[in-house]
Amino acid sequence: MPESPPRIDEEYENENSVVEKFDSKLENDSSPLVYVKVGRYNDILGQIQQLRSLSLGLRDALDALGEIEKEVSIGIVVANKTLDDLSVLIKDLELRFSKNREIVEKHNPTIPKNIEDYVKKSYEKTEKLKKNFRKLEKIERLEGFEK
């Protein structure tokens, strides 16, 4: 389960502790104090607030990108699984059709490159079969007379 983003009050507490650390650091710091006009001070505070807002927005955007990254990785896993299943199916079909192709090739003569020779040989075979049928018909007729 994805880690939930920190609550706003936790962030505020964290920011306060950071500010306190910063303040204590300033107290120990020997650098000179900076004086700013009150109007300019409010502008600076507004800019700091904008920076804080941008920081929180960036954190939300990074969290969203993390969620998207998780979804993409899940999608890649699903796509790989589907591709594996598809490969198994293709292999199965290939085996079935290759067996059928062998059977078909055994029962069907291959057509030679020169089609005229093929037609001529087929015609000769057909004529030979016709002669054999005629001989069989004559034999059957003769046997019919004997009975």
Transcribe the chain into DSSP letters.
-PPPPPPHHHHHHHHHHHHHHHHHHHHH--SPP----HHHHHHHHHHHHHHHHHHHHHHHHHHHHHHHHHHHHHHHHHHHHHHHHHHHHHHHHHHHHHHHHHHHHHHSPPPPS-HHHHHHHHHHHHHHHHHHHHHHHHHHHHHHHH-
pLDDT of residue 63: 93
**Do residues 11 and 56 touch, judged by C-beta distance below 8 A?**
yes
For residue 13, pLDDT over 50 is answered with: yes
The pLDDT tens digits of the residues spanning 43-96 come to 999 999 999 999 999 999 999 999 999 999 999 999 989 998 888 888 888 887
pLDDT of residue 22: 53
The reported pTM is 0.39
Average pLDDT over the chain, rounded to an integer: 77
The pLDDT tens digits of the residues spanning 98-147 come to 776 666 666 665 656 677 777 888 888 888 888 888 888 777 777 665 54
pLDDT of residue 146: 53
pLDDT of residue 104: 62
